[in-house]
Structure 1
C-alpha cells in the first residue's frame, strides 16, 4: 500500500521541465511519483492532445485556440521553442502503468475520446481502471464520463466552493474531490473523507505549505516539484 499523501506530479514535473510534455512526465517518473496529472484538449482532427491552456500563445510562438488546430498543425509547434505537444496516447505509452494517471478534462467535448482511450488501454494494454482518475471543473464533461462508463474513477475540481463540489460529486459517485489547498483545514478534510471521498489538493510547492497541508490528512498533493513531497 502506498504511503499517504500520494505524490502527484502536476503537469508532469512542471517545476523542473516544461509542463505537459513527455520530457516533464519522464522527469516526474524519475522522481518517483505515485501519480501524474495532465490536461487534455480535443484537436480538430479528433485526437486528444496534452496541453493546459485554451490558447497557444503562452507556451508557443503561435496564437489562437488549441481546439481549432489539427494534430498535424499542433505537432509542428514547440513548447518553449523546444518540446512537442504530446497526444494522450503518447503519454499513456510512456507511463505504461508505472504510476496512476490523472487526466483533467480541460477542453470541451473531451469526455468521449477520453473514455474511448481508457477503454482501449484497459482492454488491450493491461491497464486497470484504478490506474486512471478523470477530473474536471466542467461538470457536464464529468457527467458524460459517468454516463458512458461507470468504471472510470472521477474527481471534482474546485477552487471556490467545497459544498457545491461535494454535492455534485455525490451525483456522479466520484472517487475524489480536488480542492485548491487554501480551501482546506483538518475539519473540512475529515468531513469529506467521512463521506467516502479522497481529498487531493493542488498546487502546493513551498516546503512550509506542504508540511502544513500534510497535517490535514489529505490523500494526495499535487505539486510542480513532486520531489519536495
Structure 2
C-alpha cells in the first residue's frame, strides 16, 4: 500500500526518545520503523472494531487483511499475571462478566463471552461466529501474526495493573518484537512510559494526551494528566520535553464536536521531533481533513475506509 510522506522535518536523529544501536551501514529494522513513522500510518483501533467485536481475533484478522500498518490494543494484567487485550477496567460493557478485569485469572476470563454484546449493539453486523468470542492474550496475538504485523500497544490503567510494564517488556523481548521494529508502546501515563524506557530504551513510545475545557474556565483548554499545557499555551520546549522519551504524540482533535487542536499544532509538534497520531477517527470527511493537515497517522475503527483514502 503506497503512503504519502507527510512531513520531512523529522529525521531519525530527532527521535531522541529511542536509542538505536547498529554497527552496520545498512538500515536496521528498528531504524526503518522510525523512518516509516514519517509517512502516514493506518492504525486499526482495537482491530477493525467497526466490523467485529473490539480486540477480538476476528477484528484483528480483518485489519491484517486490509493491510493496516498497526494493530492497536489495550494491554492489561489478569490476577495471575497474564497479559490480555481488553480496553475497559471493568467487564460489563463488552462481555457477560462483571467487576474489574484485574480481579480474575486468565482461566476465569476465558470462560466469558466477549462477542455477543457486539451482535446486540450492532444487529446489522451481527454474526453467529462472534458468539462465545474469548478474550485474547497478547501471546496469542503474537503467535497468530508474529513478525508479519506491527503492534501499537497501550499500558492501560497502569495504576490498576501494577507490573504491566515489566511483564510487557519481557514478552516483547521474548518474541523479538523490539529490534525487529514491530512495536510501539503508548500510554496516557507518563510514568508508565518512563518505566518502559528504563527497562528497554529501544522501544519507541507514544505519549497519549487528551485536551478538553478546563472545569473552572471553559474558555481554556487543558490536558487531562497535565503532561503538556493546553494547545493554545504549548511551546516548543513542551514538545521537546515529550520528545526526550517519546517518538510521537497521540491526541484527540475534537471535544464535543469542537476542534481542540489545529494544523499549526500538528506542524509544531512535528518540527520538534514528534509524529502526530489522532484518535479515533471514523468519518471519511474527518479523515481527509486530518490527512490534509499532514498528520502522521489516524486511529480508526474502520481501517478499510482509511486505507482507501491513502492508497
TM range (shorter): over 0.9
- Tell me if the contact between 2:89 and 2:157 (Cα under 8 Å) persists in the aligned partners: yes
| Matched residue, 1:118 | 172
| Matched residue, 1:201 | 278
Distance 2:46 2:98 in 1: 21
| Matched residue, 2:145 | 95
Distance 1:113 1:208 in 2: 40
| Largest Rg, 1 or 2 | 2
- Tell me if the contact between 2:186 and 2:206 (Cα under 8 Å) persists in the aligned partners: yes
Q: Could you say if the C-alpha distance between residues 155 and 2 of structure 1 is closer, same or farther in structure 2, counting changes exceeding 3 Å?
A: farther
Kindly report the root-mean-square deviation, in angstroms, between the aligned alpha carbons of the 2 structures: 1.8
Q: In terms of mean alpha carbon deviation, does 153-162 or 11-20 score higher?
A: 153-162
Distance 2:153 2:110 in 1: 20
Distance 2:282 2:299 in 1: 8
- Tell me if the contact between 2:156 and 2:187 (Cα under 8 Å) persists in the aligned partners: yes
- Tell me if the contact between 2:206 and 2:248 (Cα under 8 Å) persists in the aligned partners: yes
| Matched residue, 2:293 | 216
- Tell me if the contact between 1:12 and 1:28 (Cα under 8 Å) persists in the aligned partners: yes
| Matched residue, 1:157 | 208
Per the normalisation by structure 2, the TM-score is: 0.69
Distance 2:100 2:200 in 1: 29
Distance 2:71 2:111 in 1: 25
- Alpha-carbon offset, residue 44 of structure 1: 0.7
Q: Which runs of 5+ in 1 are unaligned?
A: none
- Tell me if the contact between 1:22 and 1:94 (Cα under 8 Å) persists in the aligned partners: no
| Matched residue, 1:25 | 60
Distance 2:265 2:180 in 1: 28
Q: In terms of mean alpha carbon deviation, does 43-52 or 136-145 score higher?
A: 136-145
Number of aligned residues: 225
Q: In terms of mean alpha carbon deviation, does 95-104 or 160-169 score higher?
A: 160-169
Per the normalisation by structure 1, the TM-score is: 0.92
